[in-house]
Amino acid sequence: MKSQEIRSKFLNFFEGKQHLIVPSAPMVLKDDPTLMFVNSGMAPFKEYFLGNAEPKKNRISDSQKCLRVSGKHNDLEEVGYDTYHHTLFEMLGNWSFGDYFKKEAIAWAWELLTEVYGIDKDILYVTVFEGSDDADKLKMDTEAYDIWKQYISEDRILKGNKKDNFWEMGDQGPCGPCSEIHVDIRSKEERAKVDGKTLINMDHPHVVEVWNLVFMEYNRRANGSLEALPNKHIDTGMGFERLCMVLQGVQSNYDTDVFTPIIREIETITDKKYGNNEEVDVAIRVISDHVRAVAFSIADGQLPSNTGAGYVIRRILRRAVRYGFTFLDKKEPLIYRLVDVLSKKMGDAFPELKAQKQLIENVIKEEEASFLRTLDQGLVLLNRIVEETKGDTVSGEKAFELYDTYGFPIDLTALILSEKNLKLDEKGFKEELEKQKKRSRSASETSTEDWTILIEDDVEEFIGYDTLEANVRITRYRKVTSKKDGEMYQLVFNLTPFYAEGGGQIGDKGFLEDISGDVVYILDTKKENNVIIHFTKELPEHINESFKAVVNNEHRALSSSNHTATHLLHQALRTILGEHVEQKGSLVKPKSLRFDFSHFSKVTPEQLQEIEDFVNARIEGKLPLEEERNIPMEKAIEEGAMALFGEKYGDTVRTIRFGNSIELCGGIHVKNTSDIWHFKIVSEGAVAAGIRRIEGITNKAVKDYFSENNAAYLEMKGLLNNAKEPVKALENLQDENNDLKKQIEGLLKDKAKNIIGELKNELTEINGVHFLAKKLDLDASGIKDVCFDLGSQFDNLVLLFGAENDGKAILSCYISKELVASKGLNAGAIVRELGKHIQGGGGGQPFFATAGGKNPAGIEAALEAAKGYL
Ligand code: SER
């Protein structure tokens, strides 16, 4: 059975059991501080379990893309070494939100596996939770046990501990006991020899868990305690790739048709064979797994970067590059070439891959090329470290510097050292790593208290599209302490006029005022899943009373102005640059706006002018805001609104129209484009391969911009003696300046020539080597000329010159090539050593190198040391 058919059989089965089939949610989470990526099928439905939102239907089923590379569930380092763990995998799931429970979940799982997929009952085992006598004091799940007894003999029902049979999504959140279904795909003979029961949860590659049925009934609170959820739910997750392995009769996920096309392509590109050599196999598995994770993330709008989720993606990609570099001898980009097969294989089930293929390829290629350059530079640095190592061990500190500053992977360092018969001080390296972790941990540590509930409220209502003020009650609050912000309070209201950060627009600010006129400032508003959270520095005194909540009007108005300009800019880009332009991110603040979009070349100054004019024409056209709330998604798309990849939309959406610009948007906008006053682009540049960024300003910021520029212009004109044509006057000055520079260079060159005559006479001969160490009154380039001039006249020459330029010290060392070869002298090593005297460092080639430092007083000492050195 092909993988496509396996997936659709699952979904059809649950559709037949009255489940609503939904597409996979985006993998990268935006509004959840406790989770970076969807790490299990249930994560997108978390709010339904907690009762913070209502599902469309109380039975849902889907195939969800999941990524387990950070936090509680992290499989990254195992991937490649075994045949059944992945970074990205598909989780097939069925959900009951307060509807059916254990009886149906177990019956249907059994029916699907044994009757629809026809898996032999003799190779199946199940587990149930045995209970725990720790602080949670949980009882054994006898209910599940008794249900399973009806389907499978009792010797195949195993009792499992909390680690395997009590499922928790993270440190906090919904959880409950679970029953896992395991499959033993070993040969008949092997099964007869060793009882499959003894291999359950023992990391055996052919006795694996395929399906987990979770019976959600608790919520884990921040203080570690469990509380009962208002309703009982079902969350099941089946590993799609493992199921394919079982149904396709193969012994590894990588031998299923999910992976084989990618593996064949790697074989073609690298000229290596899968299945002959363990190191090569690991590398091929790593790459074929990681390309999926990275491609899906980029399709969801998460580009590799230096922070947060982007950094995790960058690390996954670099891990793949490193394995290709080391074990497949591939020193040029290769992973981007796999995107084509991947999108052919999975593009029907996940159309985002097909739609964004070119962007995914470009981004991966650029990232690969840049990391390969890092690896090259790292190799040069590592060779230098090796040269300078006395004894047989490279210090942990040096290896850490290479890893931390240059991003050179430590396992590669260890491998190269062992090839050179050197050792790595691994203990020292680990100590450095630990120190660094401690530093960053203490910088990012936050502690979040549990909510204090004041009023049991259903869902908080946002009324801020229509009003900036409202009477509100605080329904719950909690304290959050972090290094960055100190102590803060987070408040939730029964209803709120405050807009929470979202869709690129930052959150509202404002205040709460109680009846006696006491005020507490709201510093920011953010969303956590569906809950709008208001941030304050202090807790209002009369917390149980009602407050007047007031949004800061100017902050809101300026943000709105920039937000509307962003929509007009988007329209301008698609009109002027082409329909390939897609929004890839935006940041809308009161002072400025930022818009990232896909486009493969620099936007020319003429195009930028055209774009600016396009937007300003619409501002001058005084276009009114036309807003539609709660319209069906299909209708919005029909009307011309574009859905963005990686965004989560409900069934009904809000559309914002200004003239012909129409967007799906939850943000705040001006009532008329004339409120924007004017739009000005202030910069254009690249963010990543194929992604450009435009920064712009509107409204008050444009007025400030013009008046500041005008003031600077008048000042400049004054400095040019109020010249009638200031630009011309400036050009004249520049020309004059260039002429003078040239004259000085010429004079210095003449001076260097004269000096050479004198220096020749000062050369001494030590052991057949011509040598001179001296302080010169020349700049670095003059000294270089002197060195090479003398070098062309004398063999066996060693020169060390010092000079003081603008209060800084420089040292230059020249060594004839024949001495480099015969005596192993190295100018780079010499200047690095002598650089200590001038409190600096440097480097270069073995025959010529320079060092710069901040201590000119040390030049004499360096010259003296050089004499001794020789
Ligand atoms: N949440 C459970 C898991 O991820 C079942 O979906 O294993």
Is 580 annotated to bind a ligand? Reply is: no
840 falls within a domain = yes
Q: Please state the domain count of the chain.
A: 6
85 falls within a domain = yes
Q: Which of 404, 421, 446 is the last residue of a domain?
A: 446
Q: CB of 181 closer than 6 A to ligand 1?
A: no
The CATH number of whichever domain residue 652 belongs to comes to 3.30.980.10
Is 665 annotated to bind a ligand? Reply is: yes
pLDDT of residue 458: 63
Q: CB of 44 closer than 6 A to ligand 1?
A: no
Q: CA 625 to CA 656: how far, in whole Å?
A: 7
Q: Which of 250, 276, 308 is the last residue of a domain?
A: 250
126 falls within a domain = yes
Residue 421 has pLDDT above 90, yes or no: no
735 falls within a domain = no
Pick from 826, 839, 834: nearest CA to 865:
834
Task: State the distance from the centre of ligand 1 to the C-alpha of 92, rounded, in angstroms.
Answer: 10
Q: CB of 214 closer than 6 A to ligand 1?
A: yes
Q: CA 254 to CA 63: how far, in whole Å?
A: 19
Q: CA 295 to CA 336: how far, in whole Å?
A: 9
Q: CA 568 to CA 701: how far, in whole Å?
A: 18
Pick from 201, 363, 213, 374: nearest CA to 297:
363
Residue 643 has pLDDT above 90, yes or no: no
| Residue 672 pLDDT grade (very low, low, confident, very high; cuts 50, 70, 90) | very high
pLDDT in tens, 202-223: 989 999 999 999 999 999 988 8
Q: CA 442 to CA 450: how far, in whole Å?
A: 21
pLDDT in tens, 514-526: 999 999 999 999 9
pLDDT of residue 72: 67
The CATH number of whichever domain residue 828 belongs to comes to 3.10.310.40
Same domain flag for 608 and 509: no
Q: CB of 93 closer than 6 A to ligand 1?
A: yes
Q: CB of 41 closer than 6 A to ligand 1?
A: yes
Mean of pLDDT values over 286-312: 92
Residue 708 has pLDDT above 90, yes or no: yes
pLDDT of residue 156: 96
Same domain flag for 98 and 218: yes
Nearest CA to ligand 1 atom 5: 237
Q: CA 52 to CA 45: how far, in whole Å?
A: 10
pLDDT of residue 459: 67
Report phi then psi at 16, rounded to 5. Answer: -65, -20
Q: Is 11 or 436 the better-scoring residue by pLDDT?
A: 11
Nearest CA to ligand 1 atom 3: 237
| Residue 132 pLDDT grade (very low, low, confident, very high; cuts 50, 70, 90) | very high
Is 204 annotated to bind a ligand? Reply is: no
Structural domain of 333: 259-355
Best residue among 35, 40, 181 to mutate for probing ligand 1's pocket (most ligand atoms within 8 Å of CB) is: 40
The two tokens of residue 791 are 């070098």
Task: State the distance from the centre of ligand 1 to the C-alpha of 56, rounded, in angstroms.
Answer: 21
The CATH number of whichever domain residue 30 belongs to comes to 3.30.930.10
Q: CB of 475 closer than 6 A to ligand 1?
A: no
Mean of pLDDT values over 735-745: 94
Same domain flag for 21 and 124: yes
pLDDT in tens, 232-275: 999 999 999 999 999 999 999 999 999 999 999 999 999 999 99
Write the DSSP assignment of 3-51 as a string of letters.
Answer: HHHHHHHHHHHHHHTTPEE-PPPPSB-SS-TT-SB--STTGGGHHHHHT
Same domain flag for 128 and 193: yes
Q: How far is CA 746 from CA 28, 759, 783, 840, in A?
A: 60, 20, 14, 29
Same domain flag for 679 and 691: yes
724 falls within a domain = no
498 falls within a domain = yes
543 with 490: CB under 8 angstroms?
no
Report phi then psi at 500, rounded to 5. Answer: -90, 140
pLDDT in tens, 337-361: 999 999 999 999 899 999 999 999 9
Same domain flag for 229 and 271: no
pLDDT in tens, 779-791: 888 899 999 999 9
Same domain flag for 460 and 517: yes
CA atoms within 13 A on the CB side of 612: 20
Nearest CA to ligand 1 atom 2: 237
pLDDT of residue 390: 84
Same domain flag for 39 and 67: yes
Residue 422 one-letter amino acid? L
Task: State the distance from the centre of ligand 1 to the C-alpha of 39, rounded, in angstroms.
Answer: 9
pLDDT of residue 586: 94
The mean pLDDT value of the chain amounts to 92
Provide, rounded to the nearest whole percent, the portion of the chain with pLDDT above 90: 74
Mean of pLDDT values over 614-639: 95
Q: Which neighbouring-strand residues pair with 329?
A: none
607 falls within a domain = yes
Q: CB of 80 closer than 6 A to ligand 1?
A: no
Best residue among 235, 238, 240 to mutate for probing ligand 1's pocket (most ligand atoms within 8 Å of CB) is: 235
Same domain flag for 455 and 489: yes
Same domain flag for 462 and 577: no
- Range list of H helices, 59-185: 102-110, 142-149, 162-165
Task: State the distance from the centre of ligand 1 to the C-alpha of 149, rounded, in angstroms.
Answer: 23
Is 178 annotated to bind a ligand? Reply is: no
Q: Of ligand 1's atoms, which has the minimum distance to the CA of residue 73?
A: 4
Same domain flag for 630 and 775: no
| Relative orientation angle of helices 699-719 and 553-576, to the nearest 10 degrees | 80
731 falls within a domain = no
